[in-house]
């Protein structure tokens, strides 16, 4: 993602061809919800907060979501009280609800999201992730649509320190988390129609923690520190307003950067059964899906992704 700076912060035109000014918040947000979902002991609460920026705008962090308002995606592997399939051989597609995005052709999306996703198809929100934070889960979504099909995914790297995009991790109280989405979409015959790769578009709308506001000045990857700290006093976050029509097929995403790709090792999924039980789906020979995100896997926390396939 490209940033420029001249007494104000600008994103690289997340809305059409017009650059949009970022607004800046400082410090921790005020908790307004202690957790959207409770997965029990030894998991991180999916809390939600609010924080006002320098210009008075109130932001919901880590994101304003549609959690609980639409159906949850079906489980591939969910240790938080859901199904825990051992492999792709255990999948019974006939038992998976069929979501209506218009049209008559049936598709299936296999998804591993770090952490939370909302899936739109041709502008219709058809499913959201049941587990916003931890433990890590994976999903499948069956839907009907007519081609061309526009997939739009809101991705949220959830946070423990609300407003500062970080969590207590690796021995530091404020350590940036990382995100990632891998998905494989098939038609009714099991043929691949789309996988996550660098043909997707990705745009960032929330970046944190910023150890120094000036660190946001960069063409490409953010120059801000990604090191964890125990004292984040004075740390900031950058926010950009999400366009209301970002998910519809006619939205012009041509100015959005191409999605950046990341390896399984970089995202760190080799010890997660939600991924490893289904490697034949995510790393299919000849259709090996990449993990995708914006250019900064650690600091960018709200990322919108788009892809249209014929």
4 has a pLDDT exceeding 50 = no
State how far the Cα of 158 lies from the Cα of 167, in Å rounded to an integer.
9
221 has a pLDDT exceeding 80 = no
For residue 138, list its beta bridge partners.
77, 112
- 220 or 16, which is more confident: 220
Res 213: pLDDT? 84
Res 37: pLDDT? 97
Res 148: pLDDT? 98
Res 217: pLDDT? 58
- Average the pLDDT over 230-244 and give the result: 96
244 has a pLDDT exceeding 70 = yes
67 lies in which domain range? 4-309
Res 22: pLDDT? 87
**Structurally, how many domains does the chain consist of?**
1
Res 149: pLDDT? 98
Res 88: pLDDT? 98
The predicted-structure confidence for 70-79, as pLDDT tens digits, reads as follows 999 999 999 9
Res 215: pLDDT? 78
The predicted-structure confidence for 105-148, as pLDDT tens digits, reads as follows 999 999 999 999 999 999 999 999 999 999 999 999 999 999 99
Whether pTM > 0.85 for this model: the answer is yes
**What does pLDDT average to over the chain?**
92
């Amino acid at each position: 993602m490209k940033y420029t700076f001249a007494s104000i912060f600008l994103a690289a035109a997340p809305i059409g061809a017009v650059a949009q000014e970022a607004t800046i918040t400082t410090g921790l947000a005020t908790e307004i919800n202690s957790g959207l979902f409770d997965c029990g002991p030894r998991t991180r609460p999916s809390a939600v907060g609010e924080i006002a920026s320098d210009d008075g705008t109130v932001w919901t962090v880590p994101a304003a979501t549609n959690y609980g308002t639409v159906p949850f995606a079906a489980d591939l592997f969910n240790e938080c009280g859901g199904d825990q399939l051992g492999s792709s051989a255990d999948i019974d597609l006939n038992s998976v609800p069929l979501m209506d995005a218009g049209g008559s052709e049936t598709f299936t999306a296999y998804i591993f999201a770090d952490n939370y996703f909302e899936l739109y198809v041709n502008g219709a929100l058809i499913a959201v992730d049941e587990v916003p934070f931890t433990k890590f889960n994976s999903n499948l979504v069956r839907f009907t649509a007519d081609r061309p099909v526009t997939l739009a995914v809101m991705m949220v790297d959830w946070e423990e320190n609300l407003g500062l995009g970080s969590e207590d991790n690796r021995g530091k109280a404020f350590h940036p988390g990382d995100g990632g989405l891998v998905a494989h979409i098939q038609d009714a015959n099991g043929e691949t129609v789309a996988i996550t790769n660098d043909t997707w578009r990705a745009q960032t709308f929330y970046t944190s923690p910023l150890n120094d506001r000036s660190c946001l000045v960069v063409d490409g990857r953010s120059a801000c520190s990604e090191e964890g700290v125990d004292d984040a006093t004075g740390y900031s976050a950058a926010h950009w307003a999400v366009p209301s029509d970002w998910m519809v097929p006619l939205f012009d995403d041509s100015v959005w950067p191409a999605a950046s790709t990341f390896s399984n090792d970089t995202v760190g999924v080799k010890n997660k059964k939600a991924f490893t039980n289904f490697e034949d789906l995510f790393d299919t020979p000849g259709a090996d899906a990449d993990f995708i995100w914006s250019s900064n896997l650690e600091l960018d926390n709200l990322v919108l992704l788009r892809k249209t396939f014929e």
